[in-house]
Structure formats: structure tokens, C-alpha cells
A and B are shown apart, each in its own frame.
Chain A
């Protein structure tokens, strides 16, 4: 049973960048800032490509929601071995209010349109830390979910997924079609090579608007303000226990 895998990937600010709050305090500075594929999505793409190499999957379609630059992220996934891409066009200024509920509706509709057997996502995006999209997508599709996957194997007509949970590792067996989300230890993603980057330029990227899928992405939230975390105050050295007690008393900690 060769599966069709739909992989979601998100273009986020690179993890190594120092984030700065915009002067208008309504977001973070994104202009001229280095962006890259969400690290968990890299792991998801890598897993999908390995499934194709192991002949478990027959086609890997990668999807990204965002402005024109999201196509760079899709190209990176294509260079890693995905077959073709779908770019869901969202204007740049709407990205701050595009939420997992919108994305999961889009992915659900797309999964049906593409007749996907597996929807593969990163467990969370490093900019909003939501960890909601995979679960919501599964719910909308009424498909089983294997989230925080650290191992995925074919088992009979379904999948066996080892999940990283607080207590350790949980192994579940789920039927197909299913939604999976990749955790850190699922694999180590490959680096794109120059020949593959060249080849990726020729692979197809389809452009779709959310309305074409019948999904309404009107904002449901309004960003009121974005602020830096409070500046860490300097510590104070004290000379002896009495001085320490005195200072604690001053701060209002009764002895």
C-alpha cells in the first residue's frame, strides 16, 4: 500500500535570530530578518521522504500557508525530496492573526482534495508554540492522530507510532488515513545538496487561495500588544546574614 503523504511546513524566523519587538508594539520585526523552515517541519519532511525511499509512500506533497516567501520554504522541502508543492496564499500582514484553527481547516480540506493517506506536521511551530494544528486537523477530518511521534512504522494495514509523552514512550497502533506530528527525536533531517536544489526549481508549486478551498481565514483575534520580557534586574551582594535579613525585611518578607 503506497501512501500519499501531505506534509505541512511553516516559514518562521530562524531560531538563531535575536527577536526584536516592533516599535509599534504590535508584533516582532520581520523585515530583513532571516527566516527558515520550522525545525519540526524539517523533521516531518525528512520522515515523509524516508517513507518514500522505503517505498511506504508513493508521493510526498508539501504545503505551506503564507506570503510569497513561503515558496522558498516549499522549495527547500522539494530539495529534500518532496515531489510537488502547494502554496496557500496568505498576505503578509495577515500572518500574525492566522491561527491553528484556520490552518487546520485548510489542511483538512486539502487532505480531502488530494486524497492523502497521511498528513504529517511538525509538532509545533517555534514562533507561536501552539501545538494545536495536528490535533485540530485530525479532529476536523475525524482521523486518528499520532502526535509527538519519535518513531513511525508500517504495521499491518495501519501504522505503529511511538510517542514521546511525559511519562516516557507510548506505543499506539492507528488506522489509516491518519494525522501525525513529528517530535525532535524522530530523525535528523538531511541537508539540501546543490544538485537537488537545482532539481527542485523544476518541481511544480500550485498556488491556491483559502477561498478556493472554501475556508474563511478572517481573523478571530486581534493583537493588542507585544512587549519584551522585563529586563532582568541586577543582583545585589550582601556582606553577611544580618544584612541579608535586613534586605529581606525591607522587601516585605516578614521574618
Chain B
């Protein structure tokens, strides 16, 4: 889910133009974490620029206002802060040299993918050098058809890889909605609608090439390794997946591919209540039906979708389903689930096999984000991302809806209920600080409730800037302590994306 945002902040941060949250972060981060440096002075920046131009060429270093602004701002509600410089390396060696130079001067390094994140991950809180590895490093280095894997550089997006594989009967199933850089998806620990069957990015990465803060280049699963499994050494791949640029720059990823399903069928069912819909999901999963996608949309979301796409769905909770398999498998799965849904008061089970019909059926879900932002002109939203054990899903969604209603907010809910993960999009008027505060508080309470029932404050979007306190609550002192130990070991100067994940 993503939306376009008009950035309106100045080049060097004036305190009043920061959001409350990021100002707080900036203050605390400067006070406590011993950030490598504050924003560069003019002459320091020029000297640094010259050094960087030596490495990547003068055309590949930019200080133009629009380039800096664009690189500091992602697609979330946090006001992003621009870096001092943006560099575009053309190789892993150049990336390494850039990191060495920056580390040497204690200048922050902010890795940049497609900028489609939602948690302010690319915001340069204390300036520094944004390393945009997508511009010149955009090759699919290899496709190993028989081994079901591909090696990609940061500039290769999810759609780009799938387009290349179209005639090969293979696909890369991790689909977070945005057309994100695959290496960026590794950095944020992305997931998406297909995770219930195909896994998140964690389960689909075999190896990562990473440049560390000091310029060392490593491959997390061994040099050019792509075994399906390995017992060799520490699991470094897992360490870097989801590290959000705080431990290194990912310069290539070896990802798993899957066979394109023989048949795909899509279905849509309405339910009389949220409880019924979610119970139907729990039952379906209990019967271990290998669902490819189960998406939940509440009645507020359906109303928004109807309005935006001119559809006529009943304004009640809905499930959007997808089945993958052979023709007979898909047919029997669909029949089986149809029975389950009708047990829980499900309405007509509309389903389709033809590509265009499936697209039409799923239009509502695909355009959900835009539909929500269109509900109130000019609004922005706080997107929540909690994930809980499936058995606790009904109670969490119910208490969330109560909280939203009590605070008089609009918060459509859409979720990958098959994983126990759902998103609310809490709309606020950017000029109404009170409303924004309320949204943030509802979101925080949601996250706390999720943590209390054994879930997580972020299922797929990452911690970025906004959930640093929640991470502490989720892991406790010692848990965070170990993370800090690792950070200290790999990035003692705290130059890698400072101010993110934890302080």
C-alpha cells in the first residue's frame, strides 16, 4: 500500500516544520545515541563531495534540492528530512569505497531503494550521504531456472523481475503492494498478500551481498552461495533481513522463485459481521486449506472502495480469496471454502478464473489505499501494521474498531488475515495536530495490545522512526541490549542510517 505525497519541508530543518514525532526523535537521537555528526557545514560538504566524486564520478553526486528532498522522503506520513548529498554508485566496489569515506569522516550513510517504505526509513535525520544503489545497479545478474532462484541488484523491482520471468513459468511471489526494490524489501523484511502460502521475504532470500559501514563486502550465505539450506556458521542472512539499513547496504540478493500456478481462481464473499469473517478465516486455516491469499476488508473499507471505484459491493465485511493449484485442486479448494464461508453466514461466493475477471474482482482490494485517502480530500494517514497469532485476531480487530469509533476517527481496515496481520489507515487532517495525535495514540494502543497477546508491533512495514518505543516494549531491556551489541560490533560509529529501529 502506498500513496503519493507532496513534500513540503525546507532544505535544512526548521524545527516548527517537523512533525511532533520526528522532532522528538531528532532531539533524543542527538542527545543520547551520540550520532556521528550533525548536518555538514558548507566546506565540509564540499570536501566530502570532492572525495565522493573521485569514486563515482562527478555526474553521480547530487546536491540539487529536489533530488535531496526526494531521497529523504518515503511514502509514509513521517516528514522526511533530506540528506546533504546523494550518490549513485555503479558497483559494489564503489559502494564500499563510499562507505569507507563516509565512515572515515563520521558522516551518516542512508541506503536508498525505491523510496516506497512507510516508516520514514530513508529520512536523513542528521543529514549525511544517501547512497542510491538503484540507479546504476539494476541488473538481473542470473536466473537459475533449475534451482528456482535469481540473483538481482538493488535496481531490480518486484514487477521487473516477474516481467523477465514471464515466459519461464516462474515467479517471485512476495508482493508488498508497491513496486519495491527487491533488495529494499530484504532490508525492511517485507511481506504481502501472498505470504500465507509463499512466505515473506525472510523465507525467500538465500543470500545477500552486503557492504558494511567500514567498507567490508560480505555474502551472508557464503561466496556465491545459493544452497536451499545450510548449517554453516551464523545465520547472517537473517540478521540483515529487516535491519532497515542500520547494519549495511544490500547490493545484491539471491531470492527464491516459485512455479507459476497452473490455475488461479479468485473469490469474494461478504459477511454479516467482522467476527464471522475472521472466524471463517480461522476455520479455513484450521482445515489447512493451502490458501494463496486471504484478505479481509471491513465495512468502512468496502464503503471507500465502492465510492472510489464505482463498485456496488454491500457495505459489510468481506473476504477476498485466491486459490492456486491444478484445475482440480483449485476447484475442490474453492468448493470446500465455500462451504466454510456459508457456515459463518457468508453471502454469495463470487468466483472467477479468467485473468481479467480476477482483476475485476480484486479491484476493490488493489485500490484500497487510494480509496481511503480519497475519503477525505487532502488528508494523510497513519498506517498501522500489527500482527498477532491468528487465534487472537478477532478480539484485536474488535477492540481496535471500538477504539477508532470512540475517538471519532475514520479508520478503514484491510488485512492479510491469513497471517494474523492487518492494517488500519487512520485518516487525519495534516493541519489538525490534535487529530494526528489521536491517530498516533490509537495506533500505539493497537500495537501494545498486539504485543500483549504475543504479537508484534510491525508485521511487515518495519520500525523506521515511528515505532522505536514500541520495539523496546516488545523486546525488553535485554532484547534491545543484544540488538545494540550487534549494532555496536558492526557499526561502532553509528553511521548506518542513524536514528532508526532503536536509539
| Closest beta carbon of chain B to A129's beta carbon, Å | 20
B163 touches A16 (CB 8 A): yes
A76 to B168, CA, bound (A): 8
Docked Cα-Cα span, A190 to B166, in Å, equals 9
Q: Give the contact stretch, choosing among A63-71, A98-106, A192-200.
A: A192-200
Within 8 A of B (CB), among A207-249: none
Nearest CB in chain A: distance from B179 CB, A:
12
A194 to B326, CA, bound (A): 12
Is A197 within 8 A of B163, CB to CB? no
What is the 8 Å Cβ interface bit string for chain A, positions 1-23, against chain B (1 contact, 0 not)?
00000000000001010000000
Q: Is A191's CB under 8 angstroms from B169's CB?
A: yes
Q: Does B359 contact A (CB under 8 A)?
A: yes
A36 near B167: Cβ-Cβ < 8 Å: yes
A37 CA to B167 CA in the complex, in Å?
Answer: 9
Q: Could you say which residues of chain B place their CB within 8 Å of the CB of A192?
A: 166-169, 260
> In the complex, are the beta carbons of A79 and B170 less than 8 A apart?
no
Q: Could you tell me the distance between the alpha carbons of A79 and B355 in the complex, rounded to whole angstroms? A: 17
Min Cβ gap A21→B in Å is 20
Query: Distance in Å from the Cβ of B209 to the closest Cβ of chain A?
Result: 23
Question: Which residue of A is nearest B160, CB measured?
Answer: A16
Q: Provided the pairs A188-B356, A188-B359, A192-B260 are in contact, do residues A79 and B160 lie with their beta carbons within 8 angstroms? A: no
Q: Which residues of B contact A16 (CB under 8 A)?
A: 160, 163-164
Check: B171 CB closer than 8 A to any chain A CB. Answer: yes
B356 nearest in chain A by CB position: A188
Chain A contacts to B: CB under 8 angstroms: 14, 16, 34, 36-37, 72, 76, 79, 187-197
Please, how many angstroms separate the alpha-carbon atoms of A37 and B356 in the complex?
Answer: 20
Distance, CA A101 to CA B166, complexed state (A):
31
* A187-B356, A193-B259, A193-B260 as given contacts; A34 in contact with B164, CB under 8 Å: yes
B residues within 8 Å of A by Cβ? 160, 163-164, 166-171, 259-262, 355-356, 359
Report A70 CB to chain B, min CB distance, Å: 13
Residue contact A195 to B160, C-beta cutoff 8 Å: no
Pairwise interchain contact A193-B262, C-beta atoms closer than 8 A: yes
- B-side contacts of A196, CB under 8 Å: 169, 262
Closest CB of chain B to A51's CB: distance in Å? Answer: 14
Residues in A whose Cβ lies below 8 Å from that of B262? 193, 195-196
Please determine whether A194 and B356 come into contact, CB atoms closer than 8 angstroms: no
Residue of B nearest to A73 (CB): B167
Q: Which of A37, A79, A188, A189 contacts B169 (CB 8 A)?
A: A79
A79 CB contacts on chain B under 8 angstroms: 167, 169
Q: Give the residues in chain A near B167, CB-CB below 8 Å.
A: 36-37, 72, 76, 79, 192
Q: In the complex, A187 Cα to B359 Cα: how many Å?
A: 11
Supply 21 A–B pairs (Cβ within 8 Å), ascending by A.
A14-B163, A14-B164, A16-B160, A16-B164, A36-B166, A72-B167, A76-B167, A187-B355, A187-B356, A188-B355, A190-B355, A191-B166, A191-B171, A191-B260, A192-B166, A192-B168, A193-B259, A193-B260, A194-B260, A196-B262, A197-B169
**B169 surroundings in chain A (CB, below 8 A):** 79, 191-194, 196-197
Given A16-B160, A188-B355, A192-B167, 19 extra CB contacts under 8 A: A14-B163, A14-B164, A16-B163, A36-B166, A36-B167, A37-B167, A72-B167, A187-B355, A188-B359, A191-B171, A192-B166, A192-B260, A193-B169, A193-B259, A193-B260, A193-B261, A194-B259, A196-B169, A197-B169
Closest 7 CB pairs of A and B: A188-B355, A194-B169, A76-B167, A191-B260, A197-B169, A194-B259, A193-B260
| A191–B260 CA distance with the chains assembled, in angstroms | 7
User: Which residues of the other chain, A, contact B166 by a CB distance below 8 angstroms?
Assistant: 36, 191-192
Q: Which single residue of chain B is at the shortest CB-CB distance from A34?
A: B164
Complex contacts, A191 vs chain B, CB 8 Å: 166, 169, 171, 260
**Nearest chain A residue, comparing its CB with the CB of B165:** A191
In the complex, residue of chain B having the shortest beta-carbon distance to the beta carbon of A36: B167
Q: Which residues of A contact B259 (CB under 8 A)?
A: 193-194
